[in-house]
Amino acid sequence: MEKIEHTTVATNGINMHIASIGTGPAILFLHGFPELWYSWRHQLLSLSSLGYRCIAPDLRGYGDTDAPKNSREYTVFHILGDLVGLIDSLGIDKVFLVGHDWGAMVAWYFCMLRPDRIRSLVNMSIVFQPRNPHKSVVQISRDLFGDDYYICRFQEPGQAEEDFAQMDTARIIRKFLTSRNAKPPCIPKEVGFRGLPDCPNLPSWLSENDINYYAGKFNQTGFTGGLNYYRCLDLNWELTAAFTGLQIEVPVKFIVGELDIAYNMPGVQDYITKGGLKKHVPFLQEVVIMEGAAHFINQEKPEEVSAHIYDFIKKFN
């Protein structure tokens, strides 16, 4: 870990912290919620040893990267502006892109809107869903699962933050990272996120030091930056109307854990296995369902995930 370099890059009006290591073709890793560059620590070390320049930023609102106060400054266009500015500042023309969770959503948009900057994509957990011209993501979520669904609960500024404040930050991180409940997370207000089950013993892939690293950063920043991504879901839907129907036209490998909440959403498994995903991602080349793995697969199965990334991207060097 001490070989990983930490620098700050000015991009798109903010200062962005990046962790990087290695030389060669560039791989850009995009993390999710509630995560940091640190989620890719294993892949940075593994893939840099195989001849790649590995770059993992703290995305806007996270960790040591600036966090604008206005929640409307977290649209996908802001995030993509940060990332294009980042690779420009590093003198990189094209990257191999790797995303997970919210990072996967950003990665889909990146490939849809700026395919000229992408060699190939390895995306995890979140499938590409074409824009519904009639209903926003939040409305679809509310119709399916009601107001207690976590995405709906995250919409009101300050509400989730107040809920999280009832718990120690390390406990919040532990609850999220160790959850293996594949059901859609619905959180009644009277129960709150503190009602999510605690994991008495950390799994072998997660240490107290890992939990403390995340907790230390979120203690400094709070969770608002990450929650603002959810609060821009409807705004993203409004702003991307002109791009309705666009496909993902870069080579893609998709990886998901069989116990992942996202994989167990209604209709998702059929969408993946019966051709729906391939229809909208025509250059989809591989789909990997990781047995026994849950949502945070890049940390839970680091060696396997690194091998899957390498086996795919080496075709496009």
Active site residues: 101, 230, 295
Q: How far apart are CA 182 and CA 176, in angstroms?
A: 12
> What is the residue whose two structure tokens read 């791009």?
243
Identify whether the C-beta of residue 240 lies closer than 8 Å to the C-beta of residue 131.
yes
282 is written with which tokens? 């025509």
Identify whether the C-beta of residue 60 lies closer than 8 Å to the C-beta of residue 78.
yes
Q: How far apart are CA 167 and CA 164, in angstroms?
A: 6
Identify whether the C-beta of residue 240 lies closer than 8 Å to the C-beta of residue 80.
no
